[in-house]
Structure 1
């Protein structure tokens, strides 16, 4: 199989590329810079130069591939509307390119915002519909292409896809602890996050690309719920800093943009995913990664 991967040099996307290669697949990666191109070429990856706003580059990549794995997102926290716009345009472009081919179209999605009061399941339909919704409603848009002969597979990622080198949410929490001299949690710290090790997430993407039926929603979740207080305590221990509560109204000032996420419960089950693909996470837990120094190097 030849797979076209957007976000091929990103945190999760680069691990997906490595996983595909190790399984004997060929990979074409989207590269928006000369440096990204050099990284991919060194791995033996074919390159399409472009980015999410260069829709012709997305069409070229999809035309050369047996499967498309869409991992890229602008993640512009200062201008989420722009991130949502580009995400929707990219998904529409890739979906149109794959229409009528029955080829896999694996689309990354978040777990946040799905349900309140309980862990999300793979059967839960995303409430984000239309261009003005979260991520431009890209999950539901991608699933619309099933009726047009595309094997769409949605992979929803835990809020912490962790490991050494992670520049995601836990990295920002660690930076905030250093800056403030306190590893904080919001309120009583009872809110919780799901988590998955980066290697386990990459393996799930590969299995989903190879095997998952059209219209499948997968949950890249190894640990269903890790309390935010436990995360703060692990960060505090790793940095040698005190741990304490931050009032909800002060979360933005203490943590920055990640404060609103840290104050929210974002959990999900993985029962359907495990059974469907015989996927068993084997990587270390989030707290073990923090304790091992993954965020203090």
Structure 2
């Protein structure tokens, strides 16, 4: 297949690209910078220059492809308080892909997230879909991104093999600069490895290589209108994460009160305090996906997150 990928040079995309090429697919990656274009070329992918705001570029690339994987999201806007604008740009891109692929039965995979789906209980692939009884209780950024995912699923009614791939907050591995690396950086800066409250809240996680393989499997075989979870660890207590970090950095491990969390963790606080375990049982049965990479704690114990290069 000839596959167009947004976010192809990002953390997830840079693992998805070789996964697809290794399986015999051709990849065309969206690149908004010279550095991204160079990285894609070195990985063996073709380059299409543009950004998420270049809707004509997105439509054209999708129309010329056998399938689309939409990974890009304006995280810089989201983390600086502009989640609404980031979600709106995401929706415009999804709509553009829908226009280009309508009636083709070609696959469209859109990345979304598991966090906030079902606070306090194990989230499944059925949560967050249209008709979800808990949907009315969601608001703000998570609600906007869920609405985009629901719009993606609905494209199945327009003759598109649409699929939402939900990622946990921690997609870990060598070179990670995301949530987990930020937690480590905060511990270094504050001189204490902290967790919020009693630290019993749980985060799901997946190794980057396993996430990339799920995107390939979904591209090749996920049915129209499906939702899958790239979840290996269903829920790792944040206190356990803090304890491993504290031991490796030789720092004390301590609770941070919810009232002090924003001052201690900054933009990360609302996410770090969430309890969001998630299941991938349906995904494994549907696509035969079985994670083989290290779990979150095993990956932390390897020490890569604590080297000078990761600091």
CA distance in 2, matches of 1:262, 1:140: 25
- Counterpart check, 1:81 vs 2:91: no
Confirm or deny: 8 A CA contact 1:129 1:136 kept in the other structure.
no
How far is the alpha carbon of 1:194 from its aligned partner? Answer: 0.4
- Once the two structures are superposed, what CA deviation does each residue of 1:229-279 show, in whole Å capped at 9, x if it has no partner? 001111112212111100011111111111111111111111111111111
| Change beyond 3 A, Cα 1:230–1:130 | closer
Which TM-score applies when normalising by structure 2? 0.92
Point out where structure 2 has 5 or more consecutive residues left out of the alignment: 130-134
CA distance in 2, matches of 1:149, 1:130: 30
Confirm or deny: 8 A CA contact 1:87 1:136 kept in the other structure.
no
- Once the two structures are superposed, what CA deviation does each residue of 1:142-176 show, in whole Å capped at 9, x if it has no partner? 11211000000110001100011111111111111
How far is the alpha carbon of 1:136 from its aligned partner? Answer: 7.1
CA distance in 1, matches of 2:172, 2:3: 24
| The one of 80, 101, 104 aligned to 1:101 | 104
Confirm or deny: 8 A CA contact 1:112 1:159 kept in the other structure.
yes
CA distance in 2, matches of 1:132, 1:201: 21
How far is the alpha carbon of 1:107 from its aligned partner? Answer: 0.5
Confirm or deny: 8 A CA contact 1:236 1:243 kept in the other structure.
yes
Aligned twin of 1:273: 283
- Once the two structures are superposed, what CA deviation does each residue of 1:112-153 show, in whole Å capped at 9, x if it has no partner? 221233111112234379999422721011112110000001
Give the match's secondary structure for 2:234: strand
| The one of 118, 142, 152 aligned to 1:142 | 152
CA distance in 2, matches of 1:236, 1:255: 15
Aligned twin of 1:152: 162
How far is the alpha carbon of 1:290 from its aligned partner? Answer: 1.2
Q: CA RMSD in A?
A: 1.6
CA distance in 2, matches of 1:69, 1:286: 25
CA distance in 2, matches of 1:71, 1:227: 27
Point out where structure 1 has 5 or more consecutive residues left out of the alignment: none
| Change beyond 3 A, Cα 1:170–1:48 | same
| Change beyond 3 A, Cα 1:135–1:123 | closer
Give the match's secondary structure for 1:295: helix
| Change beyond 3 A, Cα 1:157–1:138 | same
Matches within 5 A, 1:10-89: 10-75=10-75, 76=77, 77-78=79-80, 79-89=82-92
Aligned twin of 1:230: 240
- Counterpart check, 1:219 vs 2:229: yes
| The one of 177, 183, 189 aligned to 1:173 | 183
CA distance in 1, matches of 2:271, 2:37: 33
CA distance in 1, matches of 2:237, 2:248: 17
Matches within 5 A, 1:183-222: 183-222=193-232
Give the match's secondary structure for 2:116: coil
Paired residues in the alignment total 297
| Change beyond 3 A, Cα 1:56–1:131 | farther
Deviates more, 1:264-273 or 1:135-144: 135-144
